[in-house]
Structure 1
Amino acid sequence: MSYEDAPIVLGDGERVVLRRPKLAFRNLAYGEIGPNVKISVRNAPPVFGLGLLEAVPEAEILSGKGKPNYVFDFEANARRLGRFGLKANQPSLKQQIANAFAEDIGVTSSLFPDENCAPGQAACLRAGSTKPDLSNTQLAAVTSYIRLLAVPARRGAGDPAVIAGEAAFRALGCATCHRDTLKVGDFAEAPSLNGVEIHPYTDLLLHDMGDDLADGRADHAAGPRDWRTPPLWGLGLAGKAGDGANYLHDARARTLVEAILWHGGEARDAADRFRRLPKADRDALLAFLNSL
């Protein structure tokens, strides 16, 4: 991975250098990559609060202004609304986890029983197992663990800068896609949370983010320019464990300012309004985002 600079000047003259990723492959073990292969870089998203998002009723999600992605649910043997994954390409937390086991680390399960081998990987194909690596009990345990990971608490919500930043967030139009409030339906593993309001700052729907963020890869109803609105809860803790912070689907943005300025397509007007803000208002908006 390499980067080329893409400088941009804000309304008050401050200069921000964005970086545009460029991907190249060297020392390929199985020959050149075919011309029809779609390449898309992925930045691993946080895994807390996913049980709450899974428990949001479909009707609540569809009341938003984005585009739904309908995908195949292997367990239900039917098409369902996608809500997990960067392009909303998984309908349930269990399937999202089983897919990650299979595609990321080659661990099969009853949902994804086949080894993820390319045609040229003869040894991989010969080593296919007659039974899944992950038992149904193990998959259920991992799913329950992830489903119940709690969301980090807000910090400094009453700070005047944070309050001003939240007002700016709404005025810029960010809350159109980053919905602040959703209502949980039935949450079988934590019934005390049935019906509560949560504040994930996502609509779980797809939005056209413009050519600059397009990856050239469609995924069910999601086109190359479409991305699911990522939740913002926990955003202010990114990088605080010493592992560095990066943002957007391909980690190109090193700061929240860079992440905002990359917004295009449906979010272009909001990003342009952010670019024209005075520095004090930009700082207030960042204080709000870092409080989440």
Structure 2
Amino acid sequence: MSPIKPIQLFATASLCVGFFTTNHAYGDASYADPLPGISAEQKLDFYLGEAIFQKFWIPAPSSTTASDGLGPIFNARSCNNCHINNGRGHAPEDGIAGGQIPSFLVRLGPKLTTQFADTDIYQHTGDPVYGQQFQIAHTAGVLSEGDYHLDYQYKTEVLADGTKVTLRKPILTWDTLHYGPMNSNTGLSMRVSPPLVGMGLLDNIPQQNILSKADPNDIDRDGISGKASWVKYKGQTQLGRFGFKASMPSVSAQNQNAFNTDLGLSTPDFPAAFGDCTEAQSNCRNAPNGNSPHLENLEVDSSQIHLVNSFVALSAPPAMRNLKQPWFLDGKAIFDDLNCGACHTPKMVTDDSSEFSVLHNRTFFPFTDMLLHDMGDELASEFPEASAEPREWRTAPLWGLGLSEKISGRIGFLHDGRAQSLEEAILWHGGEALPSKEKYTQLNAQQRLLLQRFLESL
């Protein structure tokens, strides 16, 4: 390992802690403050969108059409059930039923069928009976899809200095399947809900900037083969940006898909009022719905989607912390020496294409390249999704890592929440990230602590 030397951090670091980010006491709402500088009208839309985001939906029919249409099968009653204070979800503990943790989801897909960019998102198939996502809650007269619990396999990683780190891997066991056995060709992928941090900024990185970092054939022979995620959405091939597999092309697409799949609500782009019900679930498809003429014959109309989009897009990312601490640059030097920045690109810029002028031409530091990378067999899902092969995942942004427990009350990293510390998350890295992981195992205790403190400051 090369000597660790202090380096000059970002020349524009003032943008991290000044005008464009949240910079306060970092309480439990610090992922849900609006960006400074938005107009009075946008601020009103922001808080109205937050109210819809936090609203508890109810089954139809009800005495009011403003909040009905939930289900018939679903995972949560509100967006905030999964994204507590806009933060990340967590995995169930050993033996705890999955139905008790709405921020933990099980995605389904065919193991042997490739679902790439020439297939529209609407046509992606899951299990023939259970659909694209396993639903653990239901309205009256309809069965939920069942329930499951997790057990964990444990293994010990021994670092170069003799330190032992216990890693856990979730193993899912079905407790009940109310609609019969699952197809033998169906694979699963466990997910926790991701934090909603700086989504508007990530949505407005120019496409060419993301593509310029892609090297799917590793032409430069550096071992890093970032790949763009291409998805077909509403008949058009678009760059995927959101979700652990970068399978959604925009904030609006991500929000509408979540309304439809997680809550069973119809939206302009996902108008099926029965959500993720399959043809095999006739009672579910024929259940009452909340589609209303004054809401464009939907349950969540375009006006409500605009408000929720405003809330999500205009929520400010937290500022970096500890920039003036002497150890910050030492931690950054270790980050660089491990080559973490090859995927977790520190700096990004937006263009001026957003409907929100406050997002125009901004420099920010999310620590992601927005590309898909091979992360190895240990983290692989059991089926491909959009452009992503089972071993491929979008580089997770690192900003706000140190606030995770304050925001949502739990710590759980990686796509399925298995890692209970940043160190565990690093030690699960494989594939393209294996050389960085192996260099991490050679660090001494002080170096590991410096890196952790740096990551917690982003």
TM-superposition CA deviations, 1:56-86 (whole Å, max 9, x none): 0000111114100110122xx3100001111
Aligned to 1:290: 456
Greater shift in the superposed pair: 29-38 or 52-61: 29-38
Give the distance between the partners of 1:209 and 1:221, measured in 2 at CA.
15
Residue 189 of structure 1, CA deviation: 4.3
Give the equivalent residue in structure 2 for 1:122. Answer: 282
- What is aligned with 1:144? 310
Shift of 1:118: 2.7
- Is 1:263 aligned with 2:421? no
Q: CA deviation at 1:255?
A: 0.3
Q: Are the counterparts in 2 of residues 117 and 125 from structure 1 also a CA contact under 8 Å?
A: yes
Counterpart of 2:384?
A: 218
**What does residue 272 of structure 1 align with?**
438
Name the SS of the counterpart of 1:38 in structure 2: strand
Hey, what's the Cα distance between the residues in 1 that align with 2:298 and 2:385?
Answer: 26
**Contact 2:204 / 2:359 at 8 angstroms: preserved in 1?**
no
> Does structure 2 retain, via aligned residues, the 8 Å contact 1:8–1:16?
yes
C-alpha distance in 2, partners of 1:203/1:6?
A: 30
Give, as a single letter, the amino acid of the residue that structure 2 aligns with 1:42: R
Rounded to whole Å, the distance in 1 between the matches of 2:323 and 2:246 is 30
- The within-5 A match list for 1:158-177 is 158-177=324-343
C-alpha contact 2:200 2:359 (8 A) present in aligned 1: no
Residue 100 in structure 1 maps to residue 278 in structure 2: no
Q: Is residue 242 of structure 2 the alignment partner of residue 84 of structure 1?
A: yes
- How far is 1:148 from its partner? 0.2
Following TM superposition, by how much is the alpha carbon of 1:120 offset from its aligned partner in structure 2, in angstroms?
3.2
Give the drift of 1:128. 6.3
Q: Tell me if 1:3 matches 2:131.
A: no
Q: Which runs of 4+ in 1 moved over 4 A?
A: none
Query: Structure 2: how far apart are the matches of 1:219 and 1:186?
Result: 31
CA distance in 2, matches of 1:212, 1:158: 38
Aligned to 2:210: 61
**Map 1:19-58 → 2, pairs under 5 A:** 19-58=168-207
The alignment yields a C-alpha RMSD, in angstroms, of 1.3
TM-superposition CA deviations, 1:206-238 (whole Å, max 9, x none)? 000000000112012100000000111111101
Aligned residue number for residue 233 of structure 1: 399
Aligned mates of 1:192, 1:28 — CA distance in 2: 48
Q: Which amino acid aligns with 1:39?
A: L
In structure 2, distance between residues paired with 1:94 and 1:230: 19
Aligned residues: 290
Distance 2:331 2:278 in 1: 49
1:146-183 Cα offsets, whole Å, 9 max, x none, are 00000011111121222111111011010000000011
Structure whose CA Rg is larger:
2
Between 1:143-152 and 1:179-188, the stretch displaced more is 179-188
- How much has 1:287 moved relative to structure 2? 0.6
SS at match of 2:368: coil
SS, match of residue 59 in structure 1: helix
Aligned to 2:118: none
Secondary structure class of the residue paired with 1:25: strand
Deviation at 1:242, TM superposition (A): 6.1
Can you list the C-alpha shifts for 1:238-287, whole angstroms capped at 9, x where unaligned?
A: 11246110000000000000000000000000000001111111110001
Code of the residue aligned with 2:316 in structure 1: it is: A
CA distance in 1 between counterparts of 2:268 and 2:287 reads 17
Name the CA distance, whole Å, in 2 between partners of 1:28 and 1:242.
Answer: 30
Contact 1:71 1:79 in 2 (8 A): yes
One-letter identity of the residue aligned with 1:270: S
| 1:70 aligns with one of 230, 243, 266 | 230
Contact 2:246 2:372 in 1 (8 A): yes
Work out the CA distance in 2 between the residues paired with 1:119 and 1:239: 41
The one-letter amino acid of 1:78's match is Q
Distance 1:36 1:106 in 2: 25
Within 2, Cα distance between the matches of 1:29 and 1:133?
A: 27
Task: Name stretches of at least 5 consecutive residues in structure 1 with no aligned partner.
Answer: none
Q: Is the 8 A contact 2:198 2:313 kept in 1?
A: yes
In structure 1, distance between residues paired with 2:384 and 2:428:
20
Which position in structure 2 is the counterpart of 1:198? Answer: 364
CA contact (8 A) 1:52 1:187 kept: no
1:192 Cα deviation after fit: 4.0
Paired position in structure 2 for 1:208: 374
